[in-house]
Structure 1
Amino acid sequence: MKVLLFCCKGFETMEFAPFVDVMGWARNDYDMPVEVVTAGFSKTVISTFGIPILVDKSFDEIDVSEYDALAIPGGFEEFGFYEEAYDKRFLNLIREFERSNKFIASICVGALPIGASGILKGRKATTYHLGDGRRQKQLAEFGVDVIPDQSVVIDKNIITSFCPETAPHVAIALLRMLMGEDKAQVVAKAMGF
């Protein structure tokens, strides 16, 4: 199993790390065949708060057929997240994962490009919920049935969530989709969840 962890400029490292850690524990400690491949529009992606992250693949090197899931951490507008999150190439990548019936997991505002791609129209999802609720309103504008008071929402193959606090729960939910309930529970318990 392979997860493509796509990092748009301005992504949050706290929303990136749980996918690496949860899948890493599964692979290294419990011999589960799950691998995370990081990607971005360039080989070095500058995350929120200016931390550079060297990714495994640039956008042009991605072959969707090699992956079982797409993971999307959210990010900060002030650090340019939406410049790449709403890029037509990224929205097409999301659509390609959906057309291939693959899993898609997002944290916080990582749900917004999924909404913008059109694949959440008429489906249940959530996104960042604090403040004035504008991120949930933005998600609703894409025709999404926003569940405003549920921290993690799963609609068939798509996982969305509220905020950074939900990140490990989303990663564990994705592991559950990939490896099954029993195996995911072993990893979650070992990690203290």
Structure 2
Amino acid sequence: MTKILLLLANGFEAVEASVFTDVLGWNKWEGDGTTEVVSVGLHEQLQCTWNFNVSPEKLLHDIALEDFDALAIPGGFEEAGFYEDAFSEEFQQVIRHFDEHKKPIATICVASLSLGHSGILHNRKATTYNHPTSKRLEQLQSYGAEIVNERLVQTEHIITSSNPGTAFEVAFRLLEMLTSIENTEKVKDLMGFH
């Protein structure tokens, strides 16, 4: 079984987390059956951006990173406290671990800023929230990332994306990395994406 660590920061956007649980969950039951998602956080109770409360399955200090094959991180809002967890040393250690072991890392929207903050995007192509009113691309660039202003950017084993609307694309790309194009197409079809 391929285990995916769904790393949740307080203030994350629920929809950006749910695409990972849904796409990889569909694969577990209707695809090739090889993926299992485990939600993990720093707190027993997390509050999403829009006041939706979630209890992660595991706390970060209770897991062994070596047990996981991929990392998925949804983005969130600064106003909801997202960056307090996302930029914490505990989160940064998780990100560096997955990068050092070249295991897939998939982020949606501003979650790529946590990768930048960890130092793993230095001299790598990446993107983040790119609305014209936002300064997030400049923030990502300040971490040494090579900005590519596209919906989804994959550099080696790392996926970054530009906004919440890319969430399903990111989840399907991660599924493709973990299984196959054929299996991903089957799951997409079953979920009505064709």
State the TM-score bracket (shorter-chain normalisation). Answer: over 0.9
The CA deviation at 1:73 is: 0.2
Counterpart residue identity of residue 192, structure 1: G
Q: Distance in 1 between matches of 2:46 and 2:168?
A: 22
Identity between Structure 1 and Structure 2 (%): 42
Q: Which stretches in structure 2 are left out of the alignment for 5+ residues?
A: none
Q: Deviations over 1:117-150 (max 9, x none)?
A: 11111001100000334001000000000101x1
Structure 1 runs of 4+ off > 4 angstroms?
A: none
Match of 2:178 in 1: 178
The CA deviation at 1:31 is: 4.0
Name which of structure 1's ranges 120-129 and 22-31 shifts more when overlaid on structure 2. Answer: 22-31
Q: Distance in 2 between matches of 1:30 and 1:130?
A: 35
Counterpart residue identity of residue 40, structure 2: A
Equivalent residue runs for 1:1-193 within 5 Å: 1-148=2-149, 150-193=150-193
Aligned-CA RMSD value: 0.9
Name which of structure 1's ranges 65-74 and 127-136 shifts more when overlaid on structure 2. Answer: 127-136
**TM-score (norm: length of structure 1):** 0.97
2:11·2:82 contact (CA, 8 Å) conserved in 1?
A: yes
Q: Distance in 1 between matches of 2:122 and 2:109?
A: 18
Q: Distance in 1 between matches of 2:63 and 2:163?
A: 27
Counterpart residue identity of residue 64, structure 1: L
Q: Distance in 1 between matches of 2:37 and 2:123?
A: 30
Q: Deviations over 1:149-173 (max 9, x none)?
A: x101000100000111100110000
Q: Distance in 1 between matches of 2:185 and 2:32?
A: 14
Counterpart residue identity of residue 43, structure 2: S
